[in-house]
Amino acid sequence: MTKEVIIVGGGFAGLKAAKVLGNKEGIQVTLIDKANHHLFQPLLYQVATAGLSQSDIAMPIRSILSEFQNIKVLQGEVTGVDFDGRAVTTDFGTLTYDHLILACGVRHCYFGKEAWEPHAPGLKTLEQALEIRRRILSAFEVAERAEDETVRRRALTFVVVGGGPTGVELAGAIGEMTRYTLGRDFRNIDPKLTRIILVEAGDRILGSFPKKQSSRATRDLENLGVQVWTKSPVSEIGETAIEVGSEKIETMTVLWAAGITATDLNQGLGVETGVQGRLVVDACLNIPGRNDVFVAGDQAAFTDPSGKILPCLSPVAIQQGQCIAENILRDQAGESREPFDYVDKGQMATIGRSRAIVDFGFFRLQGFIAWLTWLLVHIYFISGFNNRLSIFLKWCLSYLTNKKGARIISGATWRFFDTLPACEPCDAPTAPPTPEPFKKAE
Amino acid sequence: MTKEVIIVGGGFAGLKAAKVLGNKEGIQVTLIDKANHHLFQPLLYQVATAGLSQSDIAMPIRSILSEFQNIKVLQGEVTGVDFDGRAVTTDFGTLTYDHLILACGVRHCYFGKEAWEPHAPGLKTLEQALEIRRRILSAFEVAERAEDETVRRRALTFVVVGGGPTGVELAGAIGEMTRYTLGRDFRNIDPKLTRIILVEAGDRILGSFPKKQSSRATRDLENLGVQVWTKSPVSEIGETAIEVGSEKIETMTVLWAAGITATDLNQGLGVETGVQGRLVVDACLNIPGRNDVFVAGDQAAFTDPSGKILPCLSPVAIQQGQCIAENILRDQAGESREPFDYVDKGQMATIGRSRAIVDFGFFRLQGFIAWLTWLLVHIYFISGFNNRLSIFLKWCLSYLTNKKGARIISGATWRFFDTLPACEPCDAPTAPPTPEPFKKAE
C-alpha cells in the first residue's frame, strides 16, 4: 500500500530525495519548506555582493518538482516531531508519515555571542544576502555623502569574520567590487580606498584545504586589496566597531561567516545531537533506533568509516538525499537497505572574479584554471535546477562582465544610515524599514 | 561661472534633465534620490506579478550617469526647499543651488481612507511591487495548505481597485498567471478557480482611451477570467474583505491602483498646488515667480494651451526634463528660454501576455498587433536605460515564455498568512518580518 513520505526542507538533500521518489509506485511525498524556493547556496555570496539577483539562484520548489504527480509541496514551518505517533507538527497543522526525511540544514551561529547578530549578519538565506547587499552598497552611499572623514573611513571599512570558503568568497567579491565595479561611479570617494579585512581565528584561512592552497588563496586575496588577519579571534562587535584581540577597528559593515549550528528544531526532538548540534545518524542515515526517520545534508552528523564527520557541503547533501530515497524504495521492494557511502567530490573556493582553488584530492588547481573549473561546475549544477536560458545567459554575462548587474538597494535601508554617526545602521536589520506607503498605517 | 543645478528625483524627468546637462560647460549637477536606483515604472506591474525580477527594471542611478563627470549622485531625502535662500534641506545636510529641478513624482492615495493602505497596497515603488508579489504568491500557498473551504476561497480571490492602465495590467497579469503559470504547480487547488475582480468607480475602464478600445480591453480581460465591475465605488476595505457598494467580497488580496497624489514634500513648499496636489507651473515649467525653480514629470501640473492638464505619463516627464535642461543651457548661453511644447506620443496598455490597446490618436491598434507594438516600444525604452544584453534577453524570454521567472517569495511573509483566518496577513506589510538570524536580537 501507499507509503506517506514527508520531506522537511527543500535544499539539496530534500530536493534530491524528492526527485528520486518522484512518480514512484506506492509513494506519496509531501515536501515542507519555510520558503517557497530552493536556494542555490553556493552562489548566495554573489547575491550578497550584487553580482546576481535573487531570482537567479532561487527557484520555486513547486516548479522544480511540478512534473512529479505524487509530490505535494507545502510552504510552512515544522515545529516538532512525534516519533512514536509518526507525525510532524507544523504551523498549519499536523501531518502523519510512514517515512520522515529531515533535511533542514543549519544556520550560522555566534558561539554564544548572539548580541553580535544585528551588527554582523550571516549568510544563509536570501533575506540575509539582500541585507548584506544593502549594507555594503549603503556604506558607499554614506561615504559619498559624508562630510566627516571619520564617518567616511568607517563607511569604507569592511570586516569579514571567518576564513572559510564563505568568508573568502565574500571578502574576494567585495574586493573585486570596490576595485573594478564601483570605481567610476563615485565622485567624492575613491572606492579603492576601501579597507577589507578578513579575520580568521585559526592560523590560516580555508583550513579544510591543503596548506599550499590556502597560502595561494591568501595571496590572491591580497592582490584584491583584502587584508588577511589570521590567529585573530574577535573579542567584541559593536555598532560602529569590531575588536580583534586588543585592536579596535571602526567599521559600519561587519559580515559573519564564522560558525554554523543546527536549526532550533533539533533541540526539541529529544534525540542525540553531535558536533554543531547536528543530529547523529547511523550507517543508513537513520536516527538510531528510528528506522522510519532519516536525516540528510547539513542537519545530519554522519561519521564515515574513517571516523571523520562529513562536512556541510552540497555533494554530501545530494548523495545522502539520494541514498535515503533509494533505501525507502528498497523497503517498498522488500529489499534490504544499503549503508551510505560518500564519494568525495573534493572542494573548491573562488577568490574574486578570476581566481579560485580546487582540491580534488588526487589533483589540485589554483588561479585562473581553477576558476574556470569552478565556473563550469557551478554553471552545470545551477542549470540542473533552473534550465531557463535567460537565467543561464544572465548568469554568465553578469558574472563575466565587471558590471554588477544587481546593485539595487531595496527596502530603503539608506534611511538608517543617514543618522550617522549616531550609528543606527547596525540596528536597521533588526527592524527593516516600512515601505513608503505603509508608513501612515503604522 | 559654474552654475549649481540640483535635481530632486531620478525618475524619467530627472534622469533626462541630468543627461542633457551632462558634461556641459559651466554646469555642476547634483541629483538626489531616496533610492539608489532609477525605476522603469511602466514595467513595475511585471515585478509585482513575478514576470520580472527587480534588477531587470531598476538600474543604479550612479551607473546610468557615471559617464558624466559633472554629475554627482547622492542618495537621500529632500525634506524642504528655501526658495529665497536657494537651498534644499535634506536628511544629510543643506545644499545650495542656482537652478533647482523638482521631479519627485507622485505616490498613490486613498482619497482620505488612509486606513485602507495596509489592506490594499499600491504600486509605485520596488518595495511595493515585491510586497504585492508576496501577497499574490503567498495567497496561493495558503490556498494549497488550507483545509477550510472559506479560507481557500478567500485566498483565491483577488480584487484590483482602479480601472486605469495600472489596474488593468495588474488584473490581466494575475489572470495570465493563474491560467497558465501556476496551474500545473499545485495539487490541492486548481488556480483556474481563482476569482479576479477589477473594480472601477467610473462607467468604464481605461477612461483615457476611446470608448471602443476600453470595451475591447474589457473583453480581453474577461477572456483571462477577470471580472470587470464598473460603476462600482469601494465603500470599505478590511483585513479579509472588501465592500463594493452594498456587496461584500471575502478576499485576502486587494491591490490598489485607484488614485495618485503628490509627495508630502509639496505641502511644505508654500506654493500653489493644483490637481492631485501637483505643483502648478508656468509655460516654461517654472513655479510662477521663481525662474530658478523648475518642476517636471508627475510632480508638475502643466496646463497645455488647450487648457488640459498633462497626464502622469513617462513621455510627458521625459519631454519636460529635456525642455528644462535646454532652458538652463539657454540661460548659460544668454539666449531666451522657450516654453514647453508637449508632443503627444499617445498611450498604450497591455492586457495579459498577448493583448494590448494602443492609441496613437491618428491611428489605433488592439489585440496581438497592439501587444507587439507595446512590446517593441518597451524593449526599446528599457534598453535605453539598461543596455546589458543579459537583462534584455532575460526580459524577452521570461516575458514571452509562460514560465514566470521570478516567483520568489522573499521576506518570509508566509509566516503572517499562517495565522489565518485570524488575518494578520493584511498587517504584514506595515511591519515586515525580521529575517531569521536577527530574530534573537529583537
Reported as a single tens digit per residue, the pLDDT across B68-93 is: 999 999 999 999 999 999 999 999 99
Between chains, do B125 and A63 touch, taking CB under 8 Å as contact?
A: no
- The reply to whether B185 touches chain A by the CB within 8 Å rule is yes
pLDDT at B435: 32
| pLDDT tens per residue, range A327-358 | 999 999 999 999 999 998 888 998 987 889 99
Partner residue facing B185 (CB), from A66, A187, A406: A66
Q: Which residues in chain B have their CB less than 8 angstroms from residue A389's CB?
A: 393, 397
Partner residue facing B435 (CB), from A184, A390, A429: A429
Distance of alpha carbon A272 from alpha carbon A390, whole angstroms: 45
Q: Which residues in chain A have their CB less than 8 angstroms from residue B36's CB?
A: 137-138, 141, 407-409, 414
Question: Can you tell me the mean pLDDT for A388-401?
Answer: 57
The CATH class for the domain spanning A3-108+260-333 reads alpha beta
Question: Can you tell me the mean pLDDT for A227-232?
Answer: 95
Distance of alpha carbon B258 from alpha carbon B108, whole angstroms: 8
Residue type, B49: T
| pLDDT tens per residue, range A82-116 | 999 999 999 999 999 999 999 999 988 898 899 99
Q: Which residues in chain A have their CB less than 8 angstroms from residue B62's CB?
A: 185-186
Distance of alpha carbon B82 from alpha carbon B332, whole angstroms: 23
For residue A176, give the nearest of A216, A136, A221, A217 by alpha carbon.
A221
In the set B4, B67, B169, B442, the catalytic residue is B169
In the set A131, A169, A176, A200, the catalytic residue is A169
Residue A436 has pLDDT above 80, yes or no: no
Distance of alpha carbon B284 from alpha carbon B302, whole angstroms: 9
Between chains, do B76 and A145 touch, taking CB under 8 Å as contact?
A: yes
Q: Identify each DSSP E strand in A133-221 by its residue range.
A: 157-161, 195-199
Between A119-128, A143-152, B414-423, the lowest mean confidence (pLDDT) is in B414-423
The nearest CA of chain B is from the CA of A259 a distance in Å of: 13
- The reply to whether B329 touches chain A by the CB within 8 Å rule is no
The nearest CA of chain A is from the CA of B334 a distance in Å of: 29
Q: Which residues in chain A have their CB less than 8 angstroms from residue B403's CB?
A: 63, 388
- The reply to whether B246 touches chain A by the CB within 8 Å rule is no
Q: Which residues in chain B have their CB less than 8 angstroms from residue A117's CB?
A: 437-438, 440-441
pLDDT winner (highest mean) among A116-130, A320-334, B391-405, B416-430:
A320-334
Between chains, do B55 and A128 touch, taking CB under 8 Å as contact?
A: no
Residue A412 has pLDDT above 80, yes or no: no
| pLDDT tens per residue, range B7-41 | 999 999 999 999 999 999 999 999 999 999 999 88
Q: Which residues in chain B have their CB less than 8 angstroms from residue A415's CB?
A: 77, 91
Question: Can you tell me the mean pLDDT for B387-406?
Answer: 55
Confidence of residue B394 (pLDDT cuts 50, 70, 90): low
Residue numbers of A between 334 and 363 with CB closer than 8 Å to B = none
**Mean pLDDT, chain B, whole residue set:** 85
**CB within 8 A of B369, min separation 6: which ones?**
none
Per-residue burial over B5-44, b if 16 or more Cβ lie within 10 Å, else e, is bbbbbbbbbbbbbbbbbbebeebbbbbbbbbbbbbbbbbb
pLDDT at A439: 32
Between chains, do A34 and B184 touch, taking CB under 8 Å as contact?
A: no
Residue B440 has pLDDT above 90, yes or no: no
In chain B, the percentage of residues whose pLDDT exceeds 70 is: 86
Partner residue facing A437 (CB), from B115, B117, B147: B117
**What is the SS3 string spanning A54-91?**
HHHHEEEHHHHCCCCCCEEEEECCEEEEECCCCEEEEC
Dihedral sign from CA coordinates of A353, A357, A358, A363: positive
Q: Which residues in chain B have their CB less than 8 angstroms from residue A430's CB?
A: 434, 438, 441-442
CA angle B240, B244, B246 (to 5 degrees): 105
Between chains, do A431 and B434 touch, taking CB under 8 Å as contact?
A: yes
Partner residue facing A118 (CB), from B34, B390, B441: B441
Mutate: best of A123, A148, A414, partner B, most B CBs <10 A: A414
Between A34-43, A137-146, A422-431, the lowest mean confidence (pLDDT) is in A422-431
CA angle B153, B157, B158 (to 5 degrees): 165
Mutate: best of B145, B261, B379, partner A, most A CBs <10 A: B145
pLDDT at A322: 97
Reported ipTM: the value is 0.77
Residue A391 has pLDDT above 60, yes or no: no
Between chains, do A54 and B114 touch, taking CB under 8 Å as contact?
A: no
Residue B437's φ and ψ, nearest 5 degrees, are -65, -20
Assigned fold of A116-257 = FAD/NAD(P)-binding domain (3.50.50)
Dihedral sign from CA coordinates of A243, A249, A252, A256: negative
Distance of alpha carbon B321 from alpha carbon B372, whole angstroms: 28
pLDDT at A407: 67
* Intervals of CATH 3.50.50.60 along chain B: 3-108+260-333, 116-257
Residue numbers of B between 16 and 35 with CB closer than 8 Å to A = 34-35
Residue A175 has pLDDT above 50, yes or no: yes
B324 CA to centre of own chain: 23
Question: Can you tell me the mean pLDDT for A356-374?
Answer: 87
Between A126-135, A163-172, B55-64, B104-113, the lowest mean confidence (pLDDT) is in B55-64
Residue A72 has pLDDT above 70, yes or no: yes
- The reply to whether A111 touches chain B by the CB within 8 Å rule is no
Query: Is the distance from CB of B392 to CB of B219 less than 8 angstroms?
Result: no
pLDDT at A345: 83
- The reply to whether B125 touches chain A by the CB within 8 Å rule is yes
Query: Is the distance from CB of B312 to CB of B295 less than 8 angstroms?
Result: no
Per-residue burial over A356-392, b if 16 or more Cβ lie within 10 Å, else e, is bbbbeeeebbbeeebbebbbebbeebbeebbebebbb
Question: Can you tell me the mean pLDDT for A377-397?
Answer: 62
In chain A, the percentage of residues whose pLDDT exceeds 90 is: 58
Confidence of residue B241 (pLDDT cuts 50, 70, 90): very high
Nearest CA in chain A to B399: A390
Question: Can you tell me the mean pLDDT for B52-78?
Answer: 89
Query: Is the distance from CB of B397 to CB of A389 less than 8 angstroms?
Result: yes
Between chains, do B437 and A122 touch, taking CB under 8 Å as contact?
A: yes
Q: What is the pTM of this model?
A: 0.82
**CB within 8 A of B233, min separation 6: which ones?**
B201, B244, B245
Residues pairing with A28 in the sheet: A4
Q: Which residues in chain A have their CB less than 8 angstroms from residue B60's CB?
A: 185, 407-408
Residue B386's φ and ψ, nearest 5 degrees, are -140, 100
Query: Is the distance from CB of A285 to CB of A296 less than 8 angstroms?
Result: yes
Higher pLDDT, B193 or A421: B193
Residue A222 has pLDDT above 80, yes or no: yes
Per-residue burial over B240-249, b if 16 or more Cβ lie within 10 Å, else e, is bbbebeeeeb
Q: Which residues in chain B have their CB less than 8 angstroms from residue A425's CB?
A: none
B169 is catalytic: yes
Query: Is the distance from CB of B87 to CB of B81 less than 8 angstroms?
Result: yes
Between chains, do A126 and B401 touch, taking CB under 8 Å as contact?
A: no
| pLDDT tens per residue, range B166-217 | 999 999 999 988 877 777 788 888 777 889 999 999 999 999 999 999 999 9
Cell of A230: 589570521
Per-residue burial over A303-314, b if 16 or more Cβ lie within 10 Å, else e, is eeeeeeebebbb
Pairs across A and B, CB distance < 8 A: 250
| pLDDT tens per residue, range A185-200 | 888 887 778 899 999 9
Nearest CA in chain A to B131: A435
Question: Can you tell me the mean pLDDT for A148-157?
Answer: 92
| pLDDT tens per residue, range A237-277 | 999 999 998 899 999 999 999 988 888 899 889 999 998 89
Distance of alpha carbon A261 from alpha carbon A276, whole angstroms: 5
Between chains, do B144 and A108 touch, taking CB under 8 Å as contact?
A: no
Between chains, do A141 and B405 touch, taking CB under 8 Å as contact?
A: no
